[in-house]
A and B are shown apart, each in its own frame.
Chain A
Amino acid sequence: MSSELPPELADSPKPKELMAIDYRPPQQPWMETPVNFKPGNYCFPTKAKNLRVLDMPNPREWAPEEEDWKLPENWMEIIREGMKDRLDKYRSFKLFMDICVRCGACADKCHFFLGSGDPKNMPVLRAELLRSVYRGEFTKAGKILGKLAGARKLTIDVIKEWFYYFYQCTECRRCSVFCPYGIDTAEITMMGRELLHLLGLGINWAMEPVANCFRTGNHLGILPNGFKDALDFFAEDAEEITGVKIDVPINKKGAEILFVVPSGDYFGDPGTYTCTGYIMLFHELGLDYTWSTYASEGGNFGLFTSHEMIKRLNAKIYAEAKRLGVKWILGGECGHMWRVVNQYMDTMNGPADFLEEPVSPITGTKFENANSTKMVHIMEFTADLIRHNKLRLDPSRNDNRIVTFHDSCNPARAMGILEEPRYVIKNVCNNFYEMPENTIREQTFCCGGGAGLGTDENMDTRLRGGLPRGNAVRYVQEKHGVNSLACMCAIDRATLITVCDYWARGVEVTGIHEMVANALIMRGEKDRQTDLRGEPLPGKEDEEDV
């Protein structure tokens, strides 16, 4: 590992210092340990204007480090009512409040605990933050026995603690894989955050995207003209590299397929290369598809806000599919987007009976597993193309990459799309190595910046949370010379760069369709000199004439 850190990490401690972690809990019981807001460890609160756009409660400016959080006067009542309402609505919530035996199997499964040693980052304690109040407010044993039954009173300090720790959980569900009762901390964190939002407590890095998405159709607030500019720009780039002229259909009525991606893909590198990859692939296939400016976001930061917000943002996708009259929907490389599509979309905004059961126009394959949502994952789509020999591929064009694959939390643990990406990767590159088995597939580690935490003001927390993933990447870097971390998630493509820069210096982050497009031999293409990043292709290093 090279010792030089990139400029944005210049203020961070050296990895060796950060790794001096003490996993032993303090003497003081956790209920008596108040939360300590330190720069680097928490995210900035939601700006009032964003709450107003969304008609959410208690819009105001406030700061976590200040004493007064400017809560509504009846905040206690609001929380009590909010808890009761959710206990009645969600069996998961009620059950998970009741049945934990505190066996501790989840403790060392959380990336934030492994990176920080903070006992309240053990999933069991993160949940106890909420459970203790549940017991104190809603159970007989808790009301009578108090602390002996693990109960406590609802106080302002409890609320502060919730804010701190429910925004130090990325809802990755890794703990839930190991829990003998399937207790899912993501569910608990989601409830915790819903309750906090009732008081106007949220983080801006999650809520600004939500407000943007509501109005402009995407998290980044990109307007229709900007959207078209970006896609046209990628098409020009692709033409420059391949010599093939590519059309990018936008808001095209009567197209067969609506294509939806996370906005990160057309906003920032290296997602943009993956985005370029999509349009090259679709052009090569002659696919009758369209982008949408209104449904220009597949991701859904509503998932990190509340169930209601998931529905409010997700509604655009079916509405747009209906307006444009497409037959089915194809979704790009994204993590939490696929949790929403797989677990919420149809229930919330379906039935999609105005769409047809998805069939690949190229291979004729029926995507029977998506018969009801009518939405197909691009990895299912592309794997099917490769399986049916519909793509001419030259994997040696990716020979400069020695690749490992990061399973994103949601596709792995809220869907189970594990083999398709591997199949595609193995067909488009020649050097692929898996990370250790405890760090991939259903046991994959989070990037440390999911669930709305991928910002910079909480860098210390992010780096700590990224430790287990970074550690596994460094392992294959040292063992196999891995220099590329492939992933199919826009948040990963943004946050893993930092994780790699810090923990596994020299490893680049790449999307899968970026590699697909590099390997893809297009009809009428010229002798390509560079890959999508403008780097010379393997073997073309000397004849660079760009």
Chain B
Amino acid sequence: MGASFSLLTVLVLVLLAFMGVRVAGWDPLFGVVIPYTALFVFLVGVVYRIWDWAKSPVPFRIPTTCGQHKSHPWIKGNNIENPSNIFGVVIRMALEILFFRSLFRNTKTELRADPSPRLIFGENKWLWAAGLAFHWSFLFIVVRHLRFFTEPIPFFVGLIEYMDGLFEIGVPTLYMTDVVILAAVTYLFLRRVVIPQVRYISIAADYFPLFLILGVAISGVLMRHFYKVDMLRVKELATGLFSFHPVTPEGIGVSFYIHLFLVSILLIYFPFSKLMHMAGVFLSPTRNMPNDNRKRRHINPWDYPVKVHTYEEYEDEFREKMKKYGIPVEKE
């Protein structure tokens, strides 16, 4: 149900943009008002969510340790999987954020019946590979898009664009990242439907962003290769937006507005959704803290006194027994 509802929602969004621009001619709405709103909601929303998380303190230092701790000098500690200092934490976080270190460990457990029933653990890197491919291609695509908003275009944008089109297939050149993102998102969708356990846990909030991103990617590819739009005018609109002199040039083509509208929806949806994992991963207390609790005291800002059973109360109850058994006591 979640999947079909999500697909339907995305299709309705596409139709909305199509009707809005092609039929109603509301170019300024779809080209200016909605993008501005989206950007505003995205920025304010993301900042708010991070602030909201950050205002809850981290009362205890609770890293999940995935390697040998630092103890004796003659035992090699694993400062990345079990960091004892900030340096190790930075490396651990970098590996997590840039290369999905934890997901890389993923295994697949199977129950085999022969010769006797037993569990077998196997490698399972598909989710890791698809996830990495998806996120990195998404990042490259975003960076590539900077050429629409900047003048002069920064050198790294050109570099990424050049690398991305290295194979020089077709005119205009087919970007590798476009192919990769379409394949990766398709895989991420299919595994949700095909793997029974994953299908069971999946809800609309999982399918919707997948379809939305798929819609963004497909509309982008379509307007580049099939329903071509006037890139100069697109850039005119984009730079207009970012210089706060918005314009909606004539004759850009509706496929562009569909693309822009889906991106706007993605931006609006972002802060309210699980997509916030992008920011959340930086704050995860099991990953971003060193395991040095016994060396450096961690302070709990809301610590409060609790009711304890004191030694005096204890001795008062058991003094006679203790004396009888020759256990030293405070009060004879």
Contacts and interface: CB of A to CB of B under 8 A. Distances in A.
Residue of B62, B116, B272 most packed against chain A (CB within 10 A):
B62
Contacts of B127: 103-105
A182 B64 contact: yes
Contact of A181 (B59, B108, B277): B277
A372 B295 contact: yes
A57 interface: no
B302 interface: yes
Nearest to A351: B297
Contacts of B294: 341-342, 346, 369-373, 375
Interface stretch (B19-27, B68-76, B162-170): B68-76
B117 interface: yes
A350 B295 CA distance: 12
Given A215-B309, A369-B295, A178 B102 contact: yes
Contacts of A475: 118
B119 interface: yes
Nearest to B308: A315
A99 B117 contact: no
Interface in A483-534: none
A20 B296 CA distance: 49
Nearest to A135: B205
B62 A187 contact: yes
Contacts of A228: 325-327
A180 B102 contact: yes
Interface stretch (A34-42, A276-284, A407-415): A407-415
Contact of A468 (B119, B204, B285): B119
Contacts of A439: 121
B65 A347 contact: no
A92 B62 contact: yes
Interface string A297-336: 0000000000110011001100110010000000000000
A438 B196 contact: no
Interface stretch (A199-207, A238-246, A247-255): A247-255
Interface size class of A (residues with CB under 8 A): 35 or more
Contacts of B108: 108
A179 interface: yes
Contact of A23 (B102, B197, B329): B197
Contact of B298 (A20, A87, A347): A347
A362 to B, nearest CB: 14
Contacts of B286: 92, 176, 182-184, 187
A423 interface: yes
Contact of A88 (B56, B58, B203, B300): B56
A202 B303 CA distance: 24
Given A25-B196, A95-B280, A19 B201 contact: no
A184 B60 CA distance: 14
B322 interface: yes
A348 B300 contact: yes
Interface stretch (A4-12, A61-69, A217-225): A217-225
B200 interface: yes
A107 B197 contact: yes
Interface stretch (B30-38, B250-258, B310-318): B310-318
A224 B298 contact: no
B328 A412 contact: no
Contacts of A347: 59-61, 293, 297-300, 303
A272 interface: no
B171 interface: no
Interface in A111-128: 114, 119, 122, 124-125, 128
Contacts of A471: 118-119
A360 to B, nearest CB: 11
A274 B294 CA distance: 25
A267 B229 CA distance: 80
Interface string A125-154: 100100000000001110001011110000
Contacts of B161: none
B274 to A, nearest CB: 5
Contact of B318 (A187, A224, A417, A438): A224
Contacts of B58: 90-92
Nearest to B300: A347
B314 A217 contact: yes
B203 A148 contact: yes
A416 interface: yes
B307 A104 contact: no
Given A94-B52, A439-B121, 12 more contacts: A16-B116, A25-B197, A29-B200, A93-B56, A141-B273, A150-B205, A173-B64, A180-B100, A225-B324, A312-B309, A415-B65, A420-B72
27 contacts: A89-B59, A91-B285, A94-B56, A95-B284, A98-B49, A99-B280, A102-B198, A107-B198, A139-B272, A141-B273, A148-B5, A149-B203, A183-B284, A184-B286, A224-B318, A294-B314, A294-B315, A315-B308, A320-B311, A342-B293, A347-B61, A348-B303, A350-B297, A369-B294, A372-B297, A414-B65, A468-B119
Interface of B: 2, 5, 49, 52-62, 64-72, 74-78, 81-82, 84, 96, 100, 102-103, 105-109, 111, 116-119, 121, 127, 131, 195-206, 272-274, 276-277, 280-281, 283-287, 291-300, 302-303, 306-311, 314-315, 317-318, 321-322, 324-330
